[in-house]
Amino acid sequence: MRTLNHHTAGRSVPRGHRTQAERSEQTRTALLDATVECLVELGYSRTSVQEICARAGVSKGAQQHHFSTKAELMASAVEHLTHRIATELVVSTDALRRDDPVDAAVEVIRRGFSGRLAAAFIELWVASRTDKELAEAMLPVDRALGRATLETFRELIGRDDSPLVDNLYWMTVNLIRGLALDESLGGDPARRERLVGQWKQMVRAALADSPGADRDGDPARP
């Protein structure tokens, strides 16, 4: 339910009227969303400024007003993509809270590092190997996403100061990223499901055998 404040109560607000700043932000977002879609569908090498503008419904002049070069556009797309992934992680965390903390923790990572957004991120990572400017743009936002996701993983597992939990997190991330690449190459989906299921069992076993686990095998806070 929307709550009226003292600025809007008692008077009508014109519908459909946007400020210049709002229109500018909408154009910028459209360009960044179109960039992500191009990365997913075409790959980095075939993603052109012309194609991005066409998909965004934006003129080349408007694009250059926001991003003077393709490199600048791609650098901003990295941050935009990371924000979208982080938003999905928050939604996934709320949806996946359940009695089995390991299942929830692994599935949150799986949702965050697989799918269409992850495919776009993979394209950027591969391209950044030979593109110093892109690599410099990706590194800080990727590290920030990693830190935020690690905190979520710790919270769901229920232990926040264990080196074991941190190691399990990074192994999970690398497994899921590898499976995302396998998916993009047309790998067997049933095999991916088996691998994730097996990994969850291994995580449970590792936590059950570690200090801080209760005798029923569930991780407990120290």
Band (179; pLDDT cuts 50, 70, 90): very high
HSE toward the beta carbon, residue 193, CA cutoff 13 A: 3
| The CATH fold of domain 20-68 | Arc Repressor Mutant, subunit A (1.10.10)
Total residues found in the chain within this entry: 222
CA-nearest of 168, 174, 142 to 154 is 168
How far is it, in rounded angstroms, from Cα 59 to Cα 53? 6
Global confidence as pTM:
0.73
Domain coordinates of the chain in residue numbers?
20-68, 71-222
Name residues whose C-beta falls within 8 Å of residue 73's C-beta, 6 or more positions apart in sequence: 31, 32, 35, 49, 52, 63, 66, 67
Name residues whose C-beta falls within 8 Å of residue 164's C-beta, 6 or more positions apart in sequence: 206, 207, 210
Enter the tokens of residue 51: 């194609």
Angle at 84 between CA 182 and CA 82, to 5 degrees: 70
Rounded mean pLDDT of 43-53? 93
Residue pLDDT, tens place only, 140-161: 888 888 888 899 899 888 887 6
Rounded mean pLDDT of 66-80? 87
Asked whether the beta carbons of 183 and 176 are under 8 A apart, the reply is no
Q: What distances in angstroms separate CA 75 from CA 33, 35, 40, 45, 61, one per listed residue?
A: 13, 11, 16, 15, 19
Residue pLDDT, tens place only, 81-121: 888 888 887 777 777 776 788 999 999 898 888 888 888 88
Of the listed ranges 42-46, 62-66, 181-185, the least confidently predicted one is: 181-185
What 12-17 contacts at long range (C-beta under 8 Å, 24+ apart), as own/partner pairs, is: none
Give φ, ψ of 25 to 5 degrees: -65, -35
State the chain's mean pLDDT as an integer.
83
Is a pLDDT exceeding 80 seen at residue 134?
Answer: yes
Asked whether the beta carbons of 88 and 136 are under 8 A apart, the reply is no
